[in-house]
Chain A
Amino acid sequence: DAKTTQPTSMDCAEGRAANLPCNHSTISGNEYVYWYRQIHSQGPQYIIHGLKNNETNEMASLIITEDRKSSTLILPHATLRDTAVYYCIVRVAWGTDKLIFGTGTRLQVFP
């Protein structure tokens, strides 16, 4: 699985959009970009994933650059409950391989 690079921490004001970047310059053509988050003292939670097209669900939007070397997770209206560590992971979607978690981005949403 390709390695990802994320900022260690970010802040965001409540109600504003949180944009979390991820670099994955060595991603392979058959690898998807997955995002998970871990709220304090809970298990990781799946957010969204995508291959090359932008994706949106009820939780977030995922923007993947045309060359697929980077992506951005967007939380359109951050709330205090979105404070968590966000992990960007690349892997093949149809496989059942393990997830390899990096250090993630610690997002702090403030009032």
Chain B
Amino acid sequence: GAGVSQSPSNKVTEKGKDVELRCDPISGHTALYWYRQSLGQGLEFLIYFQGNSAPDKSGLPSDRFSAERTGGSVSTLTIQRTQQEDSAVYLCASSLGGQGSQYFGPGTRLLVL
């Protein structure tokens, strides 16, 4: 079956602009996660959704970052007033609620100039 998909694959933006990153999880997966990976750094958790609710937002680095999920499926991560330090690969993962194995998408490579 289809895996997790993310769009766009690559995004180049200017400092101060807003960007939206999209994630389509595996069909039927109720849990959805956003992570990011900066150049040469490890993966860091951003936010977790169970259905449309986000019980854990502890990884969002600032109030410029927000995310929503609608219909228990697609999720959008929005970064407002982008900064150069936001440049990273943003990864989305999904899992069946309670089973724990997370399946990752290919990521969106964001470059803020």
**Interface, chain A (partner B; CB < 8 A):** 32, 34, 38, 42-46, 49, 91-104
Contacts and interface: CB of A to CB of B under 8 A. Distances in A.
A97 B49 CA distance: 10
Contact of B100 (A43, A91, A102, A104): A91
B91 interface: yes
B103 to A, nearest CB: 6
B91 A46 contact: no
Contact of A98 (B48, B97, B105): B48
Interface residues of B, number: 26
Contacts, number: 60
Contact of A96 (B4, B97, B106): B97
B101 A49 contact: yes
A65 B28 CA distance: 35
B105 A43 contact: yes
A45 B104 contact: yes
Contact of B50 (A34, A45, A96, A102): A96
B98 interface: yes
Interface in B22-53: 31, 33, 35, 42-45, 48, 50
B43 A101 contact: yes
Nearest to B91: A43
B94 to A, nearest CB: 10
A93 B100 contact: yes
B62 interface: no
B98 A46 contact: no
Contacts of B43: 38, 44, 99, 101
A96 B104 contact: no
B45 A96 contact: no
Given A44-B91, A101-B43, A94 B33 contact: no
Contact of A92 (B35, B100, B103, B107): B100
